[in-house]
Amino acid sequence: MSGGIRRRGSLLRELTIPGRTVQLETGRFTPGNGPQDRLKAEAMADAIAVWKADAVVFTTAETAWPAEQQSILRELAGDRVLEGRKSFGPLKISGSPAETVSGPGSIMVLDGDRNEATAYAKKHPKLQVVVYRQQGRPDAQVARVGSTWLVTPGEKGKFVIRLAFRDGKFVNHRVFNLGPEVADDPVSTAIFRRYQRRVSDQNLIDDFPRVATEAFAGNEKCGSCHAEAFAQWKSSAHAHALETLEKDGSGRDPECVSCHVVGLESTKGFVSREKTPSLTDVGCESCHGPGGEHARAPYLNRLAKIGEKACLNCHTRNTSPNFEFLTYWKNIQHGLGKTGG
């Protein structure tokens, strides 16, 4: 896992040199405008105020928020908000708050991809840096168009990019991965804990969208026939998946719980540890699908064979950036061939 405001707050504190550092928040703080997105926006607003960001970009994603959701961030960011355009800047690279300027020695934040950044740099050759958007990890090497550098912070707040300038000239760029090696910041952690409590108190998990499916059998029922596979599962981290969230305070967060239990998206699936204990954790049916009919008449209702794709439903680039199927399969391999296919 990587990212999160707890680690980000710690790294920003470490990297900031008073009077010599400008912090730029490039926007797209949350993808939607539902109840949980609003709570995220408010938590980010609190964090940005604590971090004392010098400029906060409102992209088309933020300007599409409901007025109430926008107002929290606007109130805390004040005149540091830059908004309403496809691109933002040029920005002065020193001073607080960030000041709009023109000409060389300036940064443009572009709400677009690498190709758009390249075209923009060609059109405005005096720009020193163009910041663009990119999914995945930021490029280790900085691209250059003429005398303009193209950089990206990657996606979903998983990285921090430090740009160094000397005498108004861009001199280097470094990518910081917000992985487990970065300690949590106490102040940012308090903001995150408050967000977790609000998610839990509002029972957002009860409103998680569900669809009708066949009935589930439950982990123990699967184990009554598949004893060897069940024993392998019991010894794996999958058998304690929900517990890991509960220990961190996210045991009632639907965005997290959906991949740590069986069938949260189903009308027949997980409800709570107390009401549906046999569907707790990442169980057999998390990958193999509802097995109620299979348990009732196994030879008449065979479950489909599964492979790597079943893992990728939860182990996405976002949630498990270092996931490699063949490596992780060794920890849970089971079945006749034990090959994962």
The answer to whether residues 125 and 229 belong to one domain is no
Inside any domain, residue 186: no
The answer to whether residues 239 and 165 belong to one domain is no
The answer to whether residues 148 and 28 belong to one domain is yes
Inside any domain, residue 189: no
Which range, of 31-35, 212-216, 273-277, 293-297, averages the lowest pLDDT? 31-35
Give the span between the Cα atoms of 208 and 159, in whole angstroms: 29
The answer to whether residues 55 and 111 belong to one domain is yes
Which range, of 72-86, 223-237, 300-314, averages the lowest pLDDT? 72-86
- 94, pLDDT greater than 60: no
Prediction pTM value: 0.85
Inside any domain, residue 23: yes
Give the span between the Cα atoms of 179 and 168, in whole angstroms: 31
Inside any domain, residue 337: no
Give the span between the Cα atoms of 295 and 302, in whole angstroms: 9
Q: Measuring CA to CA, which residue among 45, 54, 47, 50 is closest to residue 72?
A: 45
Which range, of 50-59, 94-103, 105-114, averages the lowest pLDDT? 94-103
Domain that holds residue 293: 206-332
The answer to whether residues 219 and 280 belong to one domain is yes
Q: How far is CA 136 from CA 63, 108, 276, 319, 320, in A?
A: 24, 21, 36, 11, 11
CATH of the domain at 271: 1.10.1130.10
- Mean pLDDT taken over the chain: 86
Give the span between the Cα atoms of 290 and 218, in whole angstroms: 9
- Report which listed range, 108-112, 169-173, 272-276, is most confident: 272-276
The answer to whether residues 171 and 46 belong to one domain is yes
- 242, pLDDT greater than 80: yes
Q: Between residues 152 and 72, which one has the greater pLDDT?
A: 152
Confidence of residue 56 (pLDDT cuts 50, 70, 90): confident
Q: What value does the mean pLDDT take over residues 61-79?
A: 78
| Joined tokens for residue 156 | 């979903």
The separation between CA 55 and the C-alpha centre of its own chain, rounded to angstroms, equals 22
Inside any domain, residue 188: no
Give the span between the Cα atoms of 340 and 329, in whole angstroms: 7
Inside any domain, residue 196: no
Total domains, the chain: 2
The answer to whether residues 284 and 224 belong to one domain is yes
For residue 339, what pLDDT is reported?
Answer: 44
The answer to whether residues 120 and 60 belong to one domain is yes
The answer to whether residues 214 and 328 belong to one domain is yes
Domain boundary among 177, 195, 221: 177
The answer to whether residues 101 and 241 belong to one domain is no
For residue 165, what pLDDT is reported?
Answer: 84
The answer to whether residues 86 and 160 belong to one domain is yes
CATH of the domain at 49: 3.60.21.10
The answer to whether residues 123 and 212 belong to one domain is no
Inside any domain, residue 100: yes
Inside any domain, residue 193: no
- 72, pLDDT greater than 50: yes
Contact 158, 177 (CB under 8 A): yes
